[in-house]
Amino acid sequence: MKKLIAVTSCPTGIAHTYMAAEALEKAAKKKGVEIKVETQGSVGVENQLTEEDIREAHAVIIAAGANISKERFKNIAIIEVPIAEAIKASDDIIDRALNVKAKEDKLADSVTEIKQQRNETRTGPYKHLMSGVSFMLPLVVAGGLAIALSFIFGIEAFQEEGTLAAALMQIGGGAAFALMVPVLAGYIAYSIAERPGLAPGLIGGMIASQIGAGFLGGIVAGFIAGYATAYLKKIIKLPKSLEGLKPILILPLLSSLIVGLLMIYVIGTPVSGIMNAMTNWLEGLTGTNALLLGGILGAMMAVDMGGPINKAAYTFAVGLLASNVFEPQAAVMAAGMTPPLGLALATMLFKNKFTKPEIEAGKAAWVLGISFITEGAIPFAAADPFRVIPSIVAGSAVTGALSMVFGATLRAPHGGIFVLPIPNAVGNLGGYVVSILVGTVITALLLGVLKKKATQ
């Protein structure tokens, strides 16, 4: 028996969202078909579809008057209909979903599977923080590269009003970077409290940005806004006729006042002081201190290859971009590229140390490495953790340390080698490339020494 899933959402998220869900459930029950319907209403997501639900489904019905992300449904057939049609013609829609041709099953790439599994197991504050970071990243990429492009015309060219350099700086620094902290805070709060948490989070993040609390203040504001909204949503009880006011008026207003007043009068000043002290310390790093910080960040990027420790280092570096501190981001991305690159090189130099499947996987590891997908090292580490993990940690630590010592800078938080040709995206490009090459070679040589001869 085929299983169906569905998502319903109307622009206001009130009546039609639930009417469409009910209609689809009734139509499916009448035909003896199992269906699970996720509603994205004004109070947030209810009856949320799990990865298991999606894997088992023959097709997904998206009945929406609002934009619904389809990223999680890329491996199954999708039926999209207006939400009104789901209410009026639910029987026909169920038939269409049952008869649509299923996408051919393909062996999922092991790296993609691992990333999906990690996303599923994220819980609590870590999950909420990563949600905020993922929504902030496109702003960091667009803003950083726009600023880099403005420097093509000269480092100070943007100061002349009316020029293209000034326009590019306004796009990157004046708009994209100005939104970074509010969006980070907004989507942390959204992850905690769904739609009612978004406005308080954005407001708290904007205040953090205005008072100079930076990304640390944004993180604090996001969590306060999210948990305050979730708590108020739980304790405030209204008559059914007034329930619709809660998510669009009462919760955003009360939560915004709570987070705003706390940021202005209690939390903002000390967090701003911490952020300024950290920024000044990082800007003054030289010699041994820079070497040490780079080595620590590099090792963190490799030790769990995309896990919580890796993400902590990455989030730290990305957050500093808003404060115009670019060296840690260069160290982090270079060190994150090194593990799969080092393994790929090792499979070429020491073929007798790897099985045939691993040698084949090494070819893919080149692509993953240059794309800054550290998870490309996971299949190798899983097969031989006690030899692979020390090797890649050592190589990445060296890469991060060299990058910091060379003073390499990076304005884009992702993209691997594909951002290198963009003028001014990378500062001290030669030193940056040398850092990656040295770490890659060290990783490969250590693997050659530590790994035993493979049994084919």
- The string of DSSP codes covering 281-320 is HHHT--HHHHHHHHHHHHHHHHHSSSSHHHHHHHHHHHHH
Q: Is the dihedral of CA 173, 176, 179, 183 positive or negative?
A: negative
- What residues contact residue 84 under an 8 Å CB cut-off, 6+ apart? 16, 65
* Three-class secondary structure of residue 261 per DSSP: helix
**Do 59 and 4 contact (CB within 8 A), yes or no?**
yes
* Three-class secondary structure of residue 239 per DSSP: coil
| Spatial distance between the Cα atoms of 332 and 350, rounded to a whole number of angstroms | 27
Residue that the structure tokens 């049952």 belong to: 98
Helix (H), strand (E) at residue 60: strand 59-64
| Spatial distance between the Cα atoms of 345 and 264, rounded to a whole number of angstroms | 53
Alpha helices (H) along 322-419: 327-349, 356-370, 378-383, 385-406
- What residues contact residue 443 under an 8 Å CB cut-off, 6+ apart? 338, 339, 341, 342, 343, 345, 346, 391, 392, 394, 395, 396
- What residues contact residue 294 under an 8 Å CB cut-off, 6+ apart? 331, 400, 401, 402, 403, 404, 405
139-158 burial code (b ≥16 CB/10 A, e <16): bbbbbbbbbbbbbebeeebb
Catalytic residue IDs: 10
**Do 11 and 160 contact (CB within 8 A), yes or no?**
no
Q: What is the dihedral of CA 365, 366, 370, 373, to 10 degrees?
A: 0
Q: Which amino acid is at 339?
A: P
Q: If phi over 0 gives left and psi between -120 and 50 gives alpha, with beta otherwise, what is residue 32?
A: left
CB atoms within 10 A of CB 235: 6
CB atoms within 10 A of CB 193: 28
Tally the residues of the chain.
456
From the list 147, 181, 185, the residue with the least C-alpha distance to 166 is 147
Q: Which amino acid is at 110?
A: S
